[in-house]
Amino acid sequence: MAKTVLIVDDEPAIRQVLSFTLSGEGYELFEAADADAALAVIEQARPDLILLDWMLPGLSGLDLARRLRRDSKTKDIAIIMLTARGEEDDRVRGLDSGADDFITKPFSSRELLARVRAIFRRLRPAAEQSSELQAGPLTLNAETKRVTCDSRTLALSSTEFQLLHFLMSHPERVYTRSQLLDGVWGENTYIEDRTVDVHIRRLRVILEPHHCDVFVQTVRGVGYRFSTRLG
């Protein structure tokens, strides 16, 4: 079955270019010019991926991303934020809003397709993953895509889930940011190392109320590891 992509941008010319580029790769496409139209499409079709422009009339792309992440029905939909904002603070804001990736305009068709393919590699079928992992009170089920701590379900985005799954699958092993990019986002990705730090921070924020954030540990000068050994 073809993957579905929703393009949300208020400029018809940009939607047309993106549609042309993605249709050549066999994706099923939907379009929306604003947040309200996007929400209507999502309600009916629930796309696998949203290409979301930051600057939209009415509700901004940033606020729409936050809204989707708060809703249990849409929190797992992958989001790539499209924007002309290229400053580091803007990229961090975009990722903090719940976006899985961030592309600064103008970008090439080759870069766009590489990032879209990287997203879909992370959304590979659960059968290819270990079914269940457990560490202390923390349990990750790859088949149901659920993470629980003390039997309470945690709300993770698709990227946060894949990052936690990767780390839990290789306990005690230290990974550099580049290795995490290759293992979670896929090799030859355009994503910057900084993205790893942002997603690690978001993951810890979700785990902290349940006292499981201590399992995601920083190894100074190297990178990160997952360990139940404290101190």
Q: Within this chain, do residues 106 and 151 fall inside the same structural domain, yes or no?
A: no
Q: Within this chain, do residues 112 and 146 fall inside the same structural domain, yes or no?
A: no
Higher-pLDDT residue of 92 and 74 is 74
Strand partners, 30: 6
> Is 0.85 surpassed by the pTM of this model?
no
Q: Within this chain, do residues 55 and 157 fall inside the same structural domain, yes or no?
A: no
Q: Within this chain, do residues 63 and 166 fall inside the same structural domain, yes or no?
A: no
Q: Within this chain, do residues 102 and 187 fall inside the same structural domain, yes or no?
A: no
Q: Can you give the residue range of the structural domain that contains 13?
A: 4-122
Q: Within this chain, do residues 108 and 163 fall inside the same structural domain, yes or no?
A: no
Give the burial class of 81: count Cβ atoms within 10 A of its Cβ; 0-12 exposed, 13-18 middle, 19 or more buried: buried
Q: Within this chain, do residues 130 and 197 fall inside the same structural domain, yes or no?
A: yes
DSSP 66-97: HHHHHSTTTTTSEEEEEES--SHHHHHHHHHT
* Confidence (pLDDT) at 123: 67
Q: Within this chain, do residues 97 and 57 fall inside the same structural domain, yes or no?
A: yes
The number of distinct structural domains making up the chain is 2
* Confidence (pLDDT) at 86: 58
- Picking from 122, 137, 171, the residue at the C-terminal end of a domain is 122
Task: Express each pLDDT in 172-204 by its tens digit.
Answer: 888 888 888 888 877 555 667 778 898 999 999
